[in-house]
Amino acid sequence: MDKQARAWLEWVVSTSQPMRRLDGSKSPIDLTSSCLIDFRNHRFLLTVQHSVKLDSNDWFLDVGYDVERGPEIYQPRGFHYIAALSRSAGDVRIIDFCYCELPRDFNSSFQERTPRMTGVERVRHVFETDLAAMPSIDQVYSFAGEIQPEQHASNVFLTELHGYSGLKYLRSENEFHIFQLPVSHPGHEYFKGCSGAPIVDMNKQVVALVCSGDEAENTIRGVSLSKLRPALDFYCNLRKDSKF
């Protein structure tokens, strides 16, 4: 692996914002991923609806770790959901996507952590995007997320940070982009926790959020951010005279 590719993969792991679902005693019971973007002077958190379901109020962002205070968390509020209306069929289909606005100065830390130490720390990436990027067959794609959760005690929740690289764009279907994995699909348990993670190219553009996979087809499916731009445009137009 050359130096440029290695640097890109090190950057990829800082693009996925971990989320934890906590019980009443603030102990983690589930995990998923998300993405931070700046769009039209607003900072948004993007993730998927099949993880952060309608009316969820128990999801928190993992924003860092303090050696004295322990894990630092932030609770996002006011998630918005999107549906597509089929005029011919007369039905409403929920799109696997949800978002909320965050304070414009919100930031999160990416840290390499083990049970014994906290290693390299840097600000987690926030994409400045117009949501217009489309996948190309000439590009290579990657995503990252925390998987394999293990609960060792009420306050000890261990995960494995894993990056998946070498994906190639195959096709698009409705609001989804489909990507070919470079190796055999290892099973859905090896991706659990990656839902909502940004799928990015080597130009550091985000094109989709991880939604699901297909073991038989050996593919990953991501919800297209370009298809969701009208919803965020509408939100920003409503909020243009307000200050968050």
pLDDT-derived band at 1 (thresholds 50, 70, 90) equals: low
Under 8 Å CB-to-CB from 107, ≥6 apart: which residues? 63, 123, 124, 126
> Which is higher by pLDDT, 237 or 121?
237
Give per-residue pLDDT as tens, 140-195: 999 998 876 666 555 555 667 778 899 999 999 989 999 999 988 877 777 888 99
- Nearest residue to 105 via CA among 68, 74, 130, 59: 74
Give per-residue pLDDT as tens, 3-25: 888 888 889 999 999 998 988 77
Flag the least confident range among 23-27, 29-33, 156-160, 207-211: 156-160
Which of 2-6, 60-64, 99-103, 239-243 has maximum average pLDDT?
A: 99-103
Mean pLDDT of the chain: 86
Query: In the chain, pLDDT over 90 holds for what percent of residues?
Result: 53
Quote the Cα angle for 63-67-73, to 5°.
Answer: 25
Give the bridge partners for 11, in sequence order.
none
How many Å apart are CA 179 and CA 137, to the nearest integer? 10
Which amino acid belongs to residue 110? F
How many Å apart are CA 244 and CA 242, to the nearest integer? 7
10 Å CB burial of residue 72 (0-12, 13-18, 19+) is: middle
Query: Cα separations (Å) of 31 from 62, 96, 170, 234, 241?
Result: 10, 17, 28, 29, 35
Query: Cα separations (Å) of 162 from 9, 32, 125, 192?
Result: 10, 13, 17, 11
> Which is higher by pLDDT, 71 or 110?
110
